[in-house]
Structures are given as structure tokens and as C-alpha cells.
Amino acid sequence: MELVDRVAHRLKLRDLRLLDAVVRSRSMAKAAIELNISQPAVSKAIAELEHVLGVRLVNRSRQGIEPTEFGRALLDCGVAVFDDLRQGIKKIEFLADPTAGEVRIGCHPFIAPSFVTAAVDRVSQRYPRIVFHLVIAEVSALHHALSERNVDLLITRRWGPIADQRLDFEFLFDESFVVVAGAQNPWVRRRSIELAELVNEAWVLPPPESGFGAAAMQAFRSCGLDYPRTTVFAVPQEVRVSLLATGRFLTIFPVSILRFPTKRTELKILAVELPMAPVSNGIATLKSRMLSPVARLFIEHARDLAKPVAKRK
């Protein structure tokens, strides 16, 4: 009997769960408590699993139990197996009641309160029993969450090529950037402004070491200007919108913030050319992962919402 047949005949979901508990807790005893079985039963199960596979799955040291490269490979397989099982159960639930379910969406901070909010609003109006879990983080953290299957999909920016070949990226629309002020700011009345005229104004911008801050800094430097004399360094959109409302501050926003979920009349785009390259917004998914029906439903509505914006480019 070949190894794959022998393992398929012997391996059970319980074995994968047990190995995962041992590695996470770094202890046979702690895993036994978590699983409510005896420590000898845990040790025996690991030993039998290693015998079936013919390789050592864990190593014991003073720091606790660590997985070998073989153990880690089996655990990676287990993650996919349990995730596929969860997705299959979600599909059954959806077939039983297509108006209910849940979806976990990872999103970048700059697109979460605009496009993602609008997409959630659109889907929730038609399917009010769907539950949305939004995970908001920077691109690297989002990719990690997706690869670990902690989210179903990402709505995010593509600042550059996606190095992880396990991910698919579906384009939705290109994002341009503009200088924005509150409706009461005197610069709003100007029909033509040079970027150099605004350098000494009161700005609220992300820190230059952040991804967006670095892109903004490059825009000013391309015009032979230093980064503006920033009065407030702040990333969250809500903070910057509140300061713009005073009529004193300027900031840089992606245009989508002014379009979604509704047009923001309290914010005005200044008539100044900002040399920042557009960034693609899109949907990132794992190539090998089966998406739940609710996740696919959300993606369909996100595509429809993005179509009018993509056509304007």
C-alpha cells in the first residue's frame, strides 16, 4: 500500500486537531487539558501518527515542543482541510437559507470607510441577515491574515506587485489622489492653485514613514518641494475629516473617500495638480481556497459598485 493510501486510511481530523493543539501549547500536558483527554493518550496518538508517516513530527526541548519541517507541512495541510470543511458547512447553510450567513473582509484603512462601507451597505440592505466582520490593517498584515485564512477576502490597494504567488488580485478601479479642504477654507474659492503655494499652510497628513506618507512626500519632492510643514500627523480618516471641518487644515485623500458611501459636501477638492500616481484597488483571494457563497455574493456586489468608478478613468 502506498504512503498516500496508508495515510488516507489512517489519518483522521481528530489527529490534525491534536497535533495543532500540541504545537500551539508547546506541551503534551497542556494539549491534553485543552482536548479533555489524558496525556498518555496524546503522546500515543502523536507516536502513532509519526509511525504511519514514517517521519518525526515534533521535537522536544527545554523551551517546549516544536514542530519539525514535516510537522509544519502537515499542520499547513490541516489548516486548509479545516478551512475547506468550514466553507463547505457555510455552503450548506447558504443553500438552506441564502439570505443569511457571514463573511470576513480584510480591508486597507483608506478604503474601509469609503468603498468597503458602501459595498457592505448595499449587500446588507438586500440581505439584512448577513453578518460582516471587517478586519482593518495595512497591506502586509492583510496578506498574512488572508494566507492564514483568518479572512475570506481582501478589498485593498495594490501598491506594487504581489510577491505571494498564492494570491489572486482582481482589479476593481484605479484610485487617484487629491488635495482636500473643508468647505469653509478660503483656498476652496481659488480656481487655480500651484502646489508650492500650499506648502506653508496647516496640513494634517500621515507620518512620512508610513506607506501613504512616503507616497505623498514623493509627490512634493517631484515638484522640487519639501514635505509640507505638517501641523498634525494622523492616519485615521475620522481625525483628518474633523480637522478639515475647522476650515484651517489641508490634507490628501483618495477620491473614493469623497464618493463613498455618499458624496461628502463638507469636503472640497482644491484646484491643484498633485503628482501622485494612481493606485489600483481590487479584491485579493487565495488561489487554492474555496470561497463561501456569501463571500462570492459580496464580491459580485463589489464589482457592480466599482463599475461606474472604473468607467470614469
Distances (CA, A) of 55 to 47, 104, 200, 310: 10, 36, 66, 53
List all residues 6 or more positions away from 287 whose beta carbon is below 8 Å from its beta carbon. 166, 167, 168
37-41 average pLDDT score: 85
Name the residue type at position 121.
D
With cell 503628482, the residue in question is: 275
Per-residue pLDDT band at 1 (split at 50, 70, 90) = very low
Nearest-10 Cα torsion for 202, 203, 209, 213: -150
Domain CATH number, residue 198: 3.40.190.290
Higher per-residue pLDDT: 10 or 31 = 31
pLDDT value at position 282? 92
Do 116 and 260 share a domain, yes or no?
A: no
pLDDT value at position 5? 54
Per-residue pLDDT band at 230 (split at 50, 70, 90) = confident
Do 163 and 296 share a domain, yes or no?
A: yes
107: β partners: 136, 155
Do 126 and 191 share a domain, yes or no?
A: no
Q: What is the CA radius of gyration of the chain?
A: 25
Do 133 and 62 share a domain, yes or no?
A: no
What is the Cα–Cα distance from 107 to 142, expressed in whole angstroms?
7
Q: What is the pLDDT of residues 62-98, one digit of tens each?
A: 788 888 888 888 777 776 767 777 777 777 776 667 6
Beta strands across the sheet bearing 177-182? 230-233, 202-205, 249-254, 177-182, 267-269
Do 46 and 75 share a domain, yes or no?
A: yes
Do 169 and 284 share a domain, yes or no?
A: yes
Do 154 and 9 share a domain, yes or no?
A: no
Do 147 and 290 share a domain, yes or no?
A: yes
Within-domain flag for 91: no
Within-domain flag for 86: no
Element (H, E) at 188: none
Domain CATH number, residue 11: 1.10.10.10
Within-domain flag for 87: no
Q: How many domains does the chain have?
A: 3
Burial 47-64 (b: 16+ CB within 10 A, else e): eebbeebeeebbeeeeee
Distances (CA, A) of 226 to 215, 219, 300: 13, 10, 43
Per-residue pLDDT band at 148 (split at 50, 70, 90) = confident
Higher per-residue pLDDT: 262 or 105 = 105
Per-residue pLDDT band at 192 (split at 50, 70, 90) = very high
Helix, coil or strand: residue 6? helix
pLDDT value at position 48? 82
Do 196 and 171 share a domain, yes or no?
A: no
What is the Cα–Cα distance from 305 to 309, expressed in whole angstroms?
8
Domain CATH number, residue 286: 3.40.190.10
Do 216 and 194 share a domain, yes or no?
A: yes
- Residue 160, pLDDT > 70, answer no
Range of 122's domain? 97-175+280-312
| Number of Cβ atoms within 10 Å of the Cβ of 77 | 12
Q: What is the pLDDT of residues 234-249, one digit of tens each?
A: 767 888 888 999 999 9
Do 300 and 161 share a domain, yes or no?
A: yes
Alpha carbons within 13 A on the beta-carbon side of 13: 8
What is the Cα–Cα distance from 232 to 238, expressed in whole angstroms?
13
Q: Which of 79, 114, 147 is the last residue of a domain?
A: 79
Which of 153, 170, 167, 60 has the alpha carbon at shortest distance from 108? 153
What is the Cα–Cα distance from 299 to 155, expressed in whole angstroms?
9
- DSSP structure class, residue 195: G
Within-domain flag for 92: no
Three-state SS sequence of 264-306: CCCEEECCECCCCCCEEEEEEEECCCCCCHHHHHHHHHHHHHH
C-alpha cell belonging to residue 124: 446588507
Do 169 and 182 share a domain, yes or no?
A: no
